[in-house]
Amino acid sequence: MDLLGYGAFFLTTALIFSLVTLGLNLQWGLTGLFNVGLAGFVAIGAYTSALLTTPDDAARLGGFGLPILVGWLGAMLVGGIAAAITGIATLRLRSDYLAITTFGVAVVVQLVALNAQKLTGGPFGIGFIPRPFGGLAETPLLFNLSNLAVVSVVTLIVYLALEHLSRSPWGRVLKALREDERAAISLGKSARFYRVQAFAVGGAIMALAGALQAHFTGFIAPDNYLPALTFQVWVMLIVGGSGSNIGAVIGSILVWAIWAGSGALTSVLFSPEQQARAASLQIVAIGVMLCVILLVRPNGLFGDRPWRPRFGKRVRVATGESGTAS
Amino acid sequence: MRQTVLDVRDLEAGYEPGVPIVRGATITVDKGEIVVVLGPNGAGKSTLIKAIAGLVPITGGTVLLDGKDITAAPAHTMVRLGLAFVPQTENIFPLMSVEDNLKVACGILMPRETPARIEEMYGAFPDLARQRRTAAGNLSGGQRQMLAIARALIVHPKVLVLDEPSAGLSPKFVSMVFEMLAGIRKSGVTILLVEQNAKAALAIGDRAYVLVEGKDRHEGIASELWNDPVVAELYLGQRRLNPERDRHSGKGSAA
Amino acid sequence: MNLQFVVDGLLAGSMIGLGAIGVTLTYSILRFSNFAHGDFMAWGAYATLAVVGAIGAMFGKIAPMAPLSFGWPLIAAVIVGMAITGLLALLLDMMLFARLRAKGQAIIVVMASFGASMALRSLLEFIFSSRPTYFSRAIQIAMPVGFGIRVTPDQIALLLLTAVLVLGVHLLMTRTQTGRSMQALSQNAALARIVGIDVAKIVRVTWIIGGALACVAGVMIGILIQIRPFMGFDMLLPMFAAAILGGIGSVPGAVLGGLIIGMAEAGAVQLVGAEWRAAVSFIILMSVLFVRPIGLFGVRER
C-alpha cells in the first residue's frame, strides 16, 4: 500500500518533469532554440501561481487567494511573456546569444527569488500554497492518487496539443527553420516571429509545470530552481531524444528514476556527513552521461533530428561553420 | 623538354560520400605554362580545383606535384609542398591589414625572409604598397584579387592554382587580372586556373581542358580551342543557347 | 559619493576581463560559447591551492613577501596552476568538444560545455567540499591613497599583473605569427587552412591561453575574496556580458567590457546593495543585445 503511494508520488514528480521537458522539446527539439535557463521559467510559473492563489499575507505582496486554475493560467501567461521578451531580444542573432541570455534570465530570476522578499518571501520561499484536493491530505494514498490524476490529465492535454501543433503547418515551418539557422535569421521578421511564438509557448509550458509543482508540494523556495534543474531536464530530453514528444515524456520518467534511485542509494551507502559530497558525485555522473550521449547516441531513444554529418565539413574542416562547400 | 609540375590522374572527388562531382578527370600542367580548365556551369571545375588543393575529399585517382604524391595531403600542408591556391571568393582576411595578410601567409613558411618577400610583392603590386595599412576588407574588388594573388605568390609556389579569378569583377578589372597573370607567368610561375570567362582565359593560356560532367572531355592548345567545333558543341554552343546567362556570367559585375 | 568603488570596480573588472579574453577567443576561433570557462577559473584556483599546499609540505612554512599577503610559493603555484588549467582545457577539447565539432553542429558543443561545466564544478565540490577556503587568512591593512580611496598591497600587485597579462596577450595577438594565425582563423577558417595555418595547433594554443588566463583570474578571486567550487560559475554571466559588450573576438574589447561591467557592479553595490550585483551584467547584456549586438569593437558576422 505504501509502495503504491510512493509510486504515485514518484510518477507525479516525473510527469511534472515531463511537462518541462515537453516545453523544452518544443523550443529545442522542434525549433532548435537553445534554452539553458529553463529553471528560471519554471520558477516564474511557480512564483506567479503562488502569489495569485495563496491567502493574503501581510509580510509580502499579495496572496490574492484566487482559484488554483487562475494561478495556472497566470503562470502560463507570465512565463510566456518572459520567454517572448527573451526571444525578441536574441532571435535575430546567432543561437549562442539566446543561450547566454536564457542563462542570464535564470540567474536574475534566482536573484529576485532570493532578494525581493516583499514579492517572493526571500530565501524562505512561500508556503501555504493551496493544493488541489487538499481535503484528502488526511488519507495520503488517495491524496497522492488524485494529484497523479490531475498531473496526468494536464500532461496528456499538453502532449496532445503539442503533437497536434508539430503536425500543423505551423510546426512544419518551425522544423524547416530549425534545419537552417542562417536561413531562419535571414528570412527576417516573419521567420523570427514563428520562432518567438514557439519559444513563448515553450516558456508557458515550463511555467505551467512550475505552477503544478508548487501546488503539488504546497511550498516553494529559491533552492528548487538552481541550474541543476535546467541540467536535469536537458538530460531528460537528450536521453528521450530531442524532437520526439513521447521521447520527452519517457526520457523524463527514466532519468528521474535513475536520479531518485541513485539518490536513495547514496543515502544508504554514505554516512549523513558525506551525503552532500555524494550528491555532487551524482551530478558529475549525470554530466558525464549527457556528454557521452551527445557523443555516442545524439538521437537519444526516440529522436527525430536528422544528424546527418556533412561529409566535406566533417572530414576536413576542424572549426566552425565557414566550411568550404560551395 | 617538358617537365610536368602538376599531374592529376583519374581524379574522383565530391562533398558527399557516393556522390562524386568530379568523375575521373585527368590533367597535367607543365613547368612555366598557363593551363585553363573550362566547362559549363556545374561541370565540377571548381570542385576539381578544390580537390587538388585538398579542400574537397578525394575518393579516387592521384595528384602528383613534382612527382610527389599529394593526394592525401591535408589542405594546410599544400603551401609547404609548393601548391598555392587562390579561392574564388572570401580569399583575403578582411579585418587584417594588407601587410598582415601577406605576413601571416609568408610567416608560416619562411619567417626570416618575410620582410624581404613583402617588399618584393610591393614591388610587383605597387597598389598594395600604397595601401599596406588598409584593412583588406576595405579594398576594391580588383585590389582584393591582387592581394589574394600576392598572398599566394609570396611563398614562391611551384604552381599557382586559381579558382575563377575574374568572377565578380568589373570588365576593367577582369582585363587587369588577366594581364597580371600573364605577367606572373613570364616571371616563371606555373599557373592552373579555372575560368568561366573562356575568351579572356584562352587569350593568355597555353593549353586548356574542357570539363563536362566531372570529366575532361577535350584538351587542346588554348589559342586553337576557341574555334574548335567540339568545344563549341560541348561548351560554347551551350552558352550560345542561353544568352541571358552568358551576359551575366561572362561579364559579371563589380562586387 | 565614495570613490572606493573605482578600485573595487577595477579589481572586479580585471577578474572579469581576464576571463572574458578566454571566452572571446574560444568564441571567435572555435565558434561556440563555452559554458565551462567559469569552471576553468575554479579549477585553476583549486589547482594553485593544491600546489601551494604541496610546496608548503616540502619546504615548510615560508614567510610572505611583505607587504604582500603571499610569498614565492603562490607565484610558483600560479605558474603550475596555469599549466594545469591549460591542459585541462586541452583535454576537455580532445575528449569532448573536438569530437562534437567534427559533427558540424555548433550548438551541440555549447550544450556539451554546459554538461561539462556541471560535471567539473560538482567534481570540485566532491573533492574539496563546498566550504569556502582561502590562500591566506591574514588581514591586510588598506592604505589610503587620497580621494577617500584605500588600497591593499595585494590589490595593487594584482592590478599590475592584469595590466601586464593583457598587454602580453595583445602583443601576442598582433605582433606574432601565432597571434596573426589566430586572427586569420577567426576571420576565415577555410582560407586559414589554404594559407597553410595548422588549425589544430592554433586551436590548442587558444585553449592553453584561455585556460591559463582563467587560472589567473581564479587565483585573483581566491586572493581577494575566497575559493569555492561555484566561484567560476558565478563569473560566467559577467564574462559573457563583457565579451559581448566588447565585441566578440576582440581582446581589448573583452578587457574594456570587463572593466565597464566591474565598475558598474561596484557602483551598483554602493547604490542598491551587494545582493543585486549579479543583475548588473544581465541588464548590460540585454541593453547591448537590443542596441548594438555587435558590441563596442565588434564586426558584423559574415
Report the distance separating Cα A142 and Cα A139, nearest Å: 6
Q: Calculate ∠ Cα B142-B146-B149, nearest 5°.
A: 140
Q: How many domains does chain B have?
A: 1
How much is the pLDDT for B141?
87
Domain boundaries, chain C: 4-291
Among B21-25, B118-122, B248-252, C144-148, the minimum mean pLDDT is found in: B248-252
Give the CATH number for residue B79.
Answer: 3.40.50.300
Instruction: Give, for B207, the enclosing helix (H) or strand (E).
Output: strand B207-212
- What digits encode the pLDDT tens for the residues A113-128? 999 888 888 888 888 8
For residue C245 the three cell numbers come to 559588450
Please tell me if residue C99 touches chain A, with a CB cutoff of 8 Å.
yes
Please tell me if residue B41 touches chain A, with a CB cutoff of 8 Å.
no
Contacts of C194 in chain B (CB under 8 A): 53, 55, 75-76, 78-79, 85, 87
Q: With a threshold of 0.90, does the pTM exceed it? A: no
CA C213 to chain centre: 6
From C239, which residue of chain A is nearest by alpha-carbon distance?
A100
Residue type, C28: S
How many helices (H) and strands (E) are present in chain A, helices listed first?
A: 13, 0
Specify whether the CB–CB gap between B44 and B217 falls below 8 A: no
Per-residue DSSP letters for C36-68?
THHHHHHHHHHHHHHHHHHHHHHH------TTS
pLDDT at B245 over 70: no
Those of residues 176-215 in A touching chain C at CB distance below 8 A are none
How much is the pLDDT for C63?
79
Specify whether the CB–CB gap between B123 and B131 falls below 8 A: no
DSSP state letter for A56: P
From A311, which residue of chain B is nearest by alpha-carbon distance?
B16
C-alpha distance from residue B37 to each of B29, C29, C243 (Å): 11, 35, 46
How much is the pLDDT for B234?
64
pLDDT at A309 over 50: no
pLDDT at A315 over 90: no
Chains touching chain A, criterion 3+ CB pairs below 8 Å:
B, C
Please tell me if residue A306 touches chain B, with a CB cutoff of 8 Å.
no
Specify whether the CB–CB gap between A227 and A109 falls below 8 A: no
Contacts of B75 in chain A (CB under 8 A): 316
pLDDT at A316 over 50: no
Share of chain C above pLDDT 70, in %: 98
At residue A197, the 3 state secondary structure works out as helix
Nearest residue to C113 via CA among B20, A210, A270, A100: A100
Q: For residue B89, what are the domain limits?
A: 4-251
- How far off is chain B from A322, nearest CA to CA, in Å? 10
At residue B36, the 3 state secondary structure works out as strand
pLDDT at A317 over 60: no
ipTM tops 0.95: no
Contacts of B108 in chain C (CB under 8 A): 177, 181, 195-197
Report the distance separating Cα A210 and Cα A50, nearest Å: 10
Of A32, A95, A288, the CB nearest to C119: A288
Long-range contacts of A154-163 (CB under 8 A, 24+ apart): A154/A19, A154/A208, A154/A212, A155/A15, A155/A18, A155/A19, A155/A22, A155/A249, A158/A19, A158/A22, A158/A205, A158/A208, A159/A22, A159/A245, A159/A249, A162/A22, A162/A25, A162/A26, A162/A245, A163/A245
For residue B47 the three cell numbers come to 570542385
Bridge partners of B212? B215
Share of chain B above pLDDT 90, in %: 56
| Interface probe, candidates C173, C195, C251, C294, chain B, greatest B C-beta count within 10 A | C195
Residue A189 — pLDDT band, cuts 50, 70, 90? low
Specify whether the CB–CB gap between C16 and C262 falls below 8 A: yes
Per-residue DSSP letters for A153-193?
HHHHHHHHHHHHHHHSHHHHHHHHHHH-HHHHHHT-HHHHH
- Residue environment code for A250-275, b if the CB has 16+ CB neighbours within 10 A, otherwise e: bbbbbbbebbeebeeebeeeeeeeee
Report the distance separating Cα B149 and Cα A146, nearest Å: 76
Specify whether the CB–CB gap between A311 and A299 falls below 8 A: no
- What digits encode the pLDDT tens for the residues C215-229? 999 999 999 999 999
CB within 8 Å: B50 and A316? no
Count Cβ atoms below 10 Å from residue B219 Cβ, excluding itself. Answer: 14
How much is the pLDDT for A187?
63
- What digits encode the pLDDT tens for the residues A21-65? 999 999 998 888 889 999 999 999 999 999 998 888 777 777 788
Residue C57 — pLDDT band, cuts 50, 70, 90? confident
- What digits encode the pLDDT tens for the residues A47-56? 999 999 888 8
Residue A181 — pLDDT band, cuts 50, 70, 90? low
How much is the pLDDT for A9?
87
For residue A246 the three cell numbers come to 513521447
How much is the pLDDT for B16?
83
- What digits encode the pLDDT tens for the residues A205-247? 999 999 999 998 889 999 999 988 998 899 999 888 888 899 9
Fold entry, domain C4-291: ABC transporter involved in vitamin B12 uptake, BtuC (1.10.3470)
CA torsion, points A105, A26, A307, A178, in degrees to nearest 10? Answer: -80
Give the pLDDT mean for C58-74. Answer: 83
Give the pLDDT mean for C199-228. Answer: 94
- The 3-state secondary structure of B117-175 reads HHHHHHHHCHHHHHCCCCEHHHCCHHHHHHHHHHHHHCCCCCEEEEECCCCCCCHHHHH
Give the pLDDT mean for B45-63. Answer: 93
Of A32, A231, A319, the CB nearest to C30: A319
